């Protein structure tokens, strides 16, 4: 089977060194195995999405010396997300929820890998359907349907799927027909991605994605969750914390090919390090 990897940035901020590292890894894993490397713009983040950034992302990747095939951006695939959500709703696996972030924080009794775990407040509650709401996955009901599931991370080994760690995640947002979990899982299947590469910060999300694959009859890829780059304070790089953008480096005349080579050799600019295993 041909290896297909992808880099799937969200255009809500410029790319930084952490993205360059992720893109080089995804590109090289495909190249080493004679496969294909895809770019997918994940632009369904409401007002935070700035479509014009996609062009800067392409320039960044070219500057790094990477070549890729581009698949349609998420904003062009909304109908497929709605169809999948309908299928899950028809199977009684989704329920509406009107809780605010603050209410969830106050009511949660568990902190999961992505913050407070939704305590199921709206499950079984009769809600006025005209009230703006999200749709959540009833994870317990879903797992009853699928039975135990497993998935494989090339680095961390075989995993038992534990979607309950994240609780009843949102699959349909108020303002979009999908959340990241639903959209990315469907897209990876449609795009023929066989090796999902992304940072370890999204490791737990893969438990949910594995469950969605089973529910929706999608092919199951292998995963490769790589270590993240950290700043001098040991925090993951983020534009909002002042991490320098690739566009700044590019426009400042830095050599992108050299940067990509340095990243491959794990030689990072001063103050940047790779998170410990
Ligand atoms: N769009 C996501 C991000 O920028 C990437 C998620 C993924 O690779 O699955 O964080």
**Structural domains in the chain, sorted by start:** 4-76+227-274 (3.40.50.620), 79-172 (3.40.50.620)
DSSP 241: G
Beta bridge partners of 36: 4
Show the tokens assigned to 136.
């959540």
Q: Is 30 in the pocket of ligand 1 (CB under 6 A)?
A: no
**Å from CA of 271 to ligand 1 middle:** 24
The average pLDDT across 44-65 equals: 93
pLDDT at 129: 86
For the cut 80, the answer to whether the pLDDT of residue 57 exceeds it is yes
**Å from CA of 105 to ligand 1 middle:** 24
Q: What percent of the chain has pLDDT over 90?
A: 91
Cβ neighbours of 187 (radius 10 Å): 23
Q: Are 64 and 23 in contact (CB under 8 A)?
A: yes
Q: Is 8 in the pocket of ligand 1 (CB under 6 A)?
A: yes
Cβ neighbours of 86 (radius 10 Å): 13
Pick the residue with more confidence: 54 or 244? 54
pLDDT at 2: 96
Q: Which of 143-147, 167-171, 175-179 has the lowest mean pLDDT?
A: 175-179
Longest distance between any two alpha carbons in the chain, whole Å = 59
Q: Are 149 and 214 in contact (CB under 8 A)?
A: yes
Cβ neighbours of 239 (radius 10 Å): 15
Ligand 1 pocket test, candidate residues 188, 198, 204, 223, most atoms within 8 A of CB: 198
The predicted model scores a pTM of 0.96
pLDDT at 276: 85
**Å from CA of 40 to ligand 1 middle:** 9
**pLDDT single digits (tens) 193-219:** 999 999 999 999 999 999 999 999 999
- Tokens 């799927």 locate to 161
């Amino acid at each position: 089977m041909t290896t297909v990897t992808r880099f799937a940035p969200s255009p809500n901020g410029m790319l930084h060194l952490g993205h360059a590292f992720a893109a080089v890894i995804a590109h090289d894993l495909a190249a080493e195995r004679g496969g294909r490397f895809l770019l997918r713009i994940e632009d369904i983040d409401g007002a935070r999405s700035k479509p014009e950034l996609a062009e800067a992302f392409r320039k960044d990747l070219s500057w790094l010396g990477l070549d890729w095939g581009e698949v349609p951006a998420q904003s062009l695939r909304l109908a497929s997300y709605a169809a999948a959500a309908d299928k899950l709703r028809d199977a009684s696996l989704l329920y509406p929820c009107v809780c605010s972030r603050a209410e969830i924080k106050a009511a949660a009794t568990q902190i999961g890998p992505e913050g407070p775990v939704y305590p199921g407040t709206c499950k079984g509650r009769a809600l006025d359907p005209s009230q703006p709401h999200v749709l959540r996955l009833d994870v317990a009901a879903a797992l009853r349907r699928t039975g135990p599931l497993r998935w494989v991370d090339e680095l961390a080994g075989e995993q038992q799927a534990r979607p309950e760690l994240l609780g009843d995640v949102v699959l349909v947002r108020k303002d979009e027909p999908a959340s990241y979990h639903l959209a990315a899982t469907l897209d990876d299947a449609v795009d023929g991605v066989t090796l999902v590469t992304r940072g370890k910060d999204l490791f737990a999300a893969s438990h949910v994605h594995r469950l969605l694959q089973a529910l929706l009859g999608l092919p199951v890829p292998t995963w490769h969750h790589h270590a993240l780059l950290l700043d001098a304070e040991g925090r993951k790089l983020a534009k909002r914390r002042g991490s320098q953008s690739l566009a700044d480096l590019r426009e400042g005349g830095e050599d992108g090919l050299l940067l990509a080579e340095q990243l491959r050799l794990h030689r990072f600019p001063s103050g940047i390090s790779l998170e410990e295993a």
